[in-house]
């Protein structure tokens, strides 16, 4: 197995220490924040020098475990992945999603879950979905030393209630609700807010309405940062991706080609070759 060493931060983004939630909060309106998902230590090492934030998202349910939604991702599972990422990352602020059902019941339940996540992973913050209805919980956590990232707009944990993964804010009531949700979680103490799957104008309005950075995904270029699911942007999540994904690499094709070459060489006994074998040295 080869390990890829962390490259030093580039001259454009000199960083000598890990970014903290207050560092992220201070970036409102400044150079856009770079956020990517990471679920494993090797991927975290590769992304860390380039990302301000690494999100251990419950999107892992779909991306890693092949499930139809994020709903079945359990707390122990996300803690295992969170620990791997937080241990591997040196510079980025690591954020772990609170899974569906692990925080919605009460602020107390949310605190117990968040405390486990922070203590057992070493991450700096948690993310939870929801707007006005979660404001009390965001305030409860924030007041007790748990940095919280909000998540409004298309909230995948509510896929059943929303009736699918379609973009939010197409009528004025829905648009106003997204902005009111962003305001509510910001006022409650969230240090930044993911705005997912909204009309561009709604994400722009939400960004203008809150004093903390917004991180867009399928949102607007005016957000204070952007996040993508890493496997989507690397071409590792199949041929069909949502419209908002830009593919920066086609690693899926490279993996297939490498697997085909390996298979061919094994079947024709060209692998392993002399370089891969241990042989007694002559005296």
Residues at the site binding ligand KIV, with contacts judged by CB under 6 A: 37, 55, 57-59, 97, 194, 196, 217, 227, 229
Query: CB–CB of 207/169 below 8 Å?
Result: no
Q: Which position's Cβ is nearest ligand KIV?
A: 57
Nearest approach, Cβ of residue 117 and ligand KIV (Å) = 14
Angstrom distances, CA of residue 41 to CA of 35, 52, 54, 222: 16, 16, 11, 31
Query: CB–CB of 47/93 below 8 Å?
Result: no
Catalytic positions = 196
**Closer CB to ligand KIV, residue 223 or residue 263?**
223
Nearest approach, Cβ of residue 250 and ligand KIV (Å) = 21
Nearest approach, Cβ of residue 60 and ligand KIV (Å) = 7
Q: What is the C-alpha to C-alpha distance for residues 214 and 42, in angstroms, rounded to an integer? A: 27
Element (H, E) at 24: helix 21-25
Q: What is the C-alpha to C-alpha distance for residues 221 and 118, in angstroms, rounded to an integer? A: 31
Q: What is the C-alpha to C-alpha distance for residues 77 and 82, in angstroms, rounded to an integer? A: 9
Nearest approach, Cβ of residue 112 and ligand KIV (Å) = 21
Q: What is the C-alpha to C-alpha distance for residues 150 and 192, in angstroms, rounded to an integer? A: 6
């Amino acid at each position: 197995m080869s390990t890829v060493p962390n490259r030093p931060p580039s001259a454009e983004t000199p960083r000598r220490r890990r970014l903290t939630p207050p560092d992220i909060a201070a970036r409102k309106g400044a150079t856009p924040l770079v956020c990517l998902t990471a679920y494993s230590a090797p991927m975290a090492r590769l992304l860390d020098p380039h990302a301000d934030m690494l999100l251990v998202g419950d999107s892992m349910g779909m991306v890693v475990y092949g499930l139809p939604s994020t709903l079945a991702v359990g707390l122990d599972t996300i803690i295992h992945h969170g620990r791997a990422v937080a241990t591997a990352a040196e510079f980025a602020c690591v954020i772990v999603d609170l899974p569906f059902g692990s925080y919605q019941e009460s602020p107390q339940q949310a605190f117990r879950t968040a405390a486990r996540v922070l203590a057992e992973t070493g991450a700096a913050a948690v993310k939870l979905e929801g707007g006005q209805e979660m404001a009390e919980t965001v305030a409860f956590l924030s007041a007790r030393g748990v940095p919280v990232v909000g998540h409004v707009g298309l909230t995948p944990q509510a896929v059943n209630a929303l009736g699918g993964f379609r973009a939010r804010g197409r009528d004025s009531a829905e648009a106003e609700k997204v902005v009111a949700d962003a305001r509510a979680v910001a006022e409650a103490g969230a240090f930044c807010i993911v705005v997912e799957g909204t009309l561009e104008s709604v994400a722009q309005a939400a960004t203008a309405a809150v004093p903390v950075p917004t991180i867009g995904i399928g949102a607007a270029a005016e957000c204070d940062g952007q996040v993508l699911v890493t496997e989507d942007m690397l071409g590792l999540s199949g041929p069909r991706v949502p419209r908002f994904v830009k593919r920066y690499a086609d690693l899926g094709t490279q993996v297939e080609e490498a697997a085909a070459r390996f298979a061919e060489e094994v079947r024709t006994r060209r692998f392993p070759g002399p370089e891969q074998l241990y042989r007694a040295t002559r005296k």
